[in-house]
A and B are shown apart, each in its own frame.
Chain A
Amino acid sequence: DAGVIQSPRHEVTEMGQEVTLRCKPISGHNSLFWYRQTMMRGLELLIYFNNNVPIDDSGMPEDRFSAKMPNASFSTLKIQPSEPRDSAVYFCASSFLAGELFFGEGSRLTVL
């Protein structure tokens, strides 16, 4: 299995631009998570889906952030408009039946 696949691995953009991060979970996993990691705030859970349905989005910072999971093999996290404080590593992870999380390599976002 290829594991959780995220793209892009690195993105540098300017403030105000739209950013879209993509994730392909492990086939057969029924839960998908988006985390953000910074030095100051650690690993923060932004949102998670069970069976493609958003269950808890209380960690989404504000309306500029949105996440979708149109099918079991694809999810996106969108930031519009982006701000410098959004700079972080964004991880996608998937799991099966509340088991261990498998993380992707992460998307490192820099907003100038």
Chain B
Amino acid sequence: GQQVMQIPQYQHVQEGEDFTTYCNSSTTLSNIQWYKQRPGGHPVFLIQLVKSGEVKKQKRLTFQFGEAKKNSSLHITATQTTDVGTYFCARGSSNTGKLIFGQGTTLQVKP
């Protein structure tokens, strides 16, 4: 259906290690958005991917959209304690703006 599945649900890493979260859909995605929610906070927009095979970078964060537009990933290089939080992918509708969120991946970083 319209669900997007995220894995893993939780990830604990040592500061300096890399981290990757994956977002998968059984159907083709119009676009995918990524959000970060700090503990006790609200989701904050990170990026939107629209094109097949698209790769975007934001400092240590790399976002990819699969060639078939059915999956996406977020990779963080050399994690820092400030990266702690829950990362959500959300499938979007190109015409209505409706966004359905995945379950999120919660990242813990040990200093």
Contact = CB atoms under 8 A, between A and B. Distances in A.
Interface of A: 31, 33, 35, 42-43, 45, 48, 50, 55-56, 91, 93, 95, 97-106
B46 to A, nearest CB: 9
Of B33, B41, B43, B102, which is in contact with the most chain A CB atoms at under 10 Å from its CB? B43
Given A98-B92, A100-B33, A100-B48, A45 B43 contact: no
Interface of B: 33, 35, 41-45, 48, 88, 90, 92-104
B103 A42 contact: yes
A51 to B, nearest CB: 11
Nearest to A92: B42
5 contacts: A33-B99, A43-B101, A56-B96, A98-B97, A101-B99
Contacts of B97: 31, 48, 50, 95, 97-99
B100 A45 contact: yes
A72 to B, nearest CB: 15
A74 B99 CA distance: 20
B104 A43 contact: yes
Contacts of A93: 43
Contact of B94 (A98, A100, A102): A98
Nearest to A100: B45
Contact of A103 (B44, B94, B96, B104): B44
Contact of B98 (A48, A100, A105): A48
A98 B95 contact: yes
Given A42-B103, A43-B101, A100-B48, A55 B43 contact: no
Of A95, A100, A102, which is in contact with the most chain B CB atoms at under 10 Å from its CB? A100
B96 A55 contact: yes
Nearest to A108: B40
Contact of A105 (B33, B42, B45, B48): B42
A106 B93 CA distance: 24
Given A43-B101, A43-B104, A98 B45 contact: no
